[in-house]
Homo-oligomer: A and B are copies of this chain.
Amino acid sequence: MMQLNLDDPRVKRTRRGLREAFVRLILKTGYDAISIQDIATEAQAARITFYRHYRDKEELLTDCLNVLYEELAARTEKASPQRILEGYSPVRVLYEHIEEEETLYRILFSSRGTQTVIERMRHHLAVTALATMEQSGRKPQGEIPLEIIAYHVASAQIGLAIWWLDQNKPYPADYMARISLWLTLTGLSETMGVTDFKPPPPSITS
């Protein structure tokens, strides 16, 4: 592909048009059903123009979603340790960003193919955790919905396992399983021996 000058206003206009058209189409018909021609038509551009800018749909999608990563990364920078105390934790930044860019995040998170299986596994782990908690007959601090706790746990567990395999299993499976269980049970404060900072148990009102 010949190099285009990304500062040229025509290039910027065209690319933005393609990105926006793509997002509209994904929301309307879903990723897989879209052809290059569809994107070009929706963006009121020639099909060949698409190929001048992107190799395929995948590349355009990445271009669309990269802004999310960059924005999030930039904002998270500012969430320094001290400011966590004031409520500026990276988690909060994440949630705020999702609210702002909800459309793009929906596309990002919308399960494509493989994802559905992971999703079902996570759901299963969550349901299992939920059952265990309900059987214990205890009530959570601050009336936190058990469902949330269950998905927190399941996400951490599946996610860590994915990381582990991705890293080519740098530790024994058995060791990982024990750590995973330990971390979900005791949390960071205990693990890191932090006693000075603890947020209040969250409630939906305060």
Chain A residues within CB distance 8 Å of chain B? 32, 58, 61-62, 65-66, 68-69, 72-73, 76, 79, 81, 84, 89-92, 94-96, 98-99, 102, 105-110, 112-118, 120-122, 124-125, 128-129, 132-133, 135-136, 138-141, 144-145, 148-149, 151-166, 171-194, 198-199, 201-202, 204
- Known A91-B177, A175-B202: A116·B62 in contact at CB below 8 Å: yes
Q: Cβ of A61 and Cβ of B177 under 8 Å apart?
A: no
- Residues of chain B lying within 8 A (CB to CB) of residue A68: 117, 121
- Residues of chain B lying within 8 A (CB to CB) of residue A90: 125, 128-129, 157
A132 to B182, CA, bound (A): 20
Q: Cβ of A124 and Cβ of B161 under 8 Å apart?
A: no
Q: Is the interface of A mostly helix, strand, loop or mixed?
A: helix
A133 to B110, CA, bound (A): 32
Q: Cβ of A179 and Cβ of B193 under 8 Å apart?
A: no
Known: A151-B163, A152-B184, A155-B162. 14 other contacts (CB 8 A): A62-B113, A76-B125, A84-B132, A90-B129, A94-B125, A98-B161, A98-B164, A98-B165, A140-B191, A140-B193, A141-B190, A149-B188, A152-B180, A182-B202
